[in-house]
């Protein structure tokens, strides 16, 4: 005889359990992929090694991610989401002084690179193997930087710049941040003493401030006009 309504499981309960198991499995696979990427590089490892490390079947990995490329995209997506969340916490008011925001953001970024040494390597692998994804990621960061700088130019905190120059400066800044990861890697690989986070941040800010900061004489000239 069929079970009564009171004996049957609540509608949706099995599905929720399935979703929970699915999310847990995905998290294990992403963690295993990150660990493999940290040790050997994402494209130097195999799907079988990632699956074994996660404790799942290769078929299960393909079920959740479809392809190696999709796994890489979702791995970078999860890392980016974590980094952005940390930046939001460290810089709750993006309208604060431009260079104060940059200092706080760089401090978070360097600490993140230290905790996730595979991050920079994965970006390089995406540039090589997923150029379209790389281009979209860069474009998103450039758009954000240009928007922030344009606001600061209008406020008089940064020197006047054309749209083309704003775009170029954003690329310079983004490139400098990326190579911070290489700096940390080289220090580890060569055994050289690291000068310290604040020394590195001060050097970066000195470079950007000299190139971007508004000249007080510009403000004086405007007032006299």
Q: Which residue has the tokens 């099995």?
A: 14
Tokens (6 digits) for 37? 């990427």
Q: Which pLDDT score, from 0 to 100, does residue 5 have?
A: 42
Helix (H, G, I), strand (E, B) or coil at 12: coil
**For residues 177 and 109, is the Cβ–Cβ distance under 8 A?**
yes
With a CB cutoff of 8 Å and minimum separation 6, the contacts of 28 are 54, 55, 56
- The structural architecture, per CATH, of the domain 12-66 is Orthogonal Bundle (1.10)
> Between helices 47-54 and 13-39, what is the axis angle to 10°?
120
Supply the DSSP symbol for 213: B
Q: Where are the domains of the chain?
A: 12-66, 67-215
CA gap 11, 108 in Å, rounded: 44
Q: Which pLDDT score, from 0 to 100, does residue 13 have?
A: 45
Q: Which pLDDT score, from 0 to 100, does residue 217 have?
A: 55
Q: Which pLDDT score, from 0 to 100, does residue 23 have?
A: 85
Q: What sections of 156-213 are H helices per DSSP?
A: 163-190, 197-212
Tokens (6 digits) for 73? 């995209």
**For residues 43 and 129, is the Cβ–Cβ distance under 8 A?**
yes
* Residue ranges, the chain, pLDDT below 50: 1-20, 220-223, 225
Decide: pTM greater than 0.75. Answer: no
CA gap 121, 174 in Å, rounded: 16
Superfamily of domain 67-215: Tetracycline Repressor, domain 2 (1.10.357.10)
Q: Which residue has the tokens 């775009």?
A: 167
Tokens (6 digits) for 52? 């074994």
What are the Cα distances from residue 212, in Å, to 58, 171, 182, 215? Answer: 51, 13, 24, 9
With a CB cutoff of 8 Å and minimum separation 6, the contacts of 50 are 29, 32, 33, 36, 61, 71
């Amino acid at each position: 005889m069929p079970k009564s309504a009171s004996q049957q499981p609540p509608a949706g309960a099995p599905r929720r359990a399935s979703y929970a198991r699915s999310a847990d499995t995905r998290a294990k696979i992403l963690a295993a992929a990150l660990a493999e990427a940290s040790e050997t590089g994402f494209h130097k490892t195999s799907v079988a090694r990632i699956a074994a490390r996660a404790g799942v079947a290769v078929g299960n990995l393909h079920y959740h991610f479809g392809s190696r490329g999709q796994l890489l995209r979702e791995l970078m997506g999860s890392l980016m989401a974590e980094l952005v969340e940390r930046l939001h916490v460290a810089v709750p008011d993006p309208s604060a002084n431009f260079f104060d925001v940059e200092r706080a953001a760089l401090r978070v970024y360097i600490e993140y690179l230290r905790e996730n040494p595979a991050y920079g390597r994965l970006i390089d692998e995406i540039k090589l193997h997923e150029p379209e994804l790389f281009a979209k990621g860069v474009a998103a960061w450039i758009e954000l930087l240009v928007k922030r700088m344009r606001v600061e130019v209008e406020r008089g905190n940064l020197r006047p710049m054309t749209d083309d120059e704003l775009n170029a400066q954003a690329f310079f800044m983004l490139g400098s941040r990326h190579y911070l990861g290489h700096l940390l890697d080289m220090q580890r690989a060569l055994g050289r003493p690291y000068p310290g986070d604040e020394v590195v941040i001060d050097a970066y800010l000195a470079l950007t401030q000299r190139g971007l900061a508004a000249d007080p004489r510009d403000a004086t000239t405007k007032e006299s006009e």
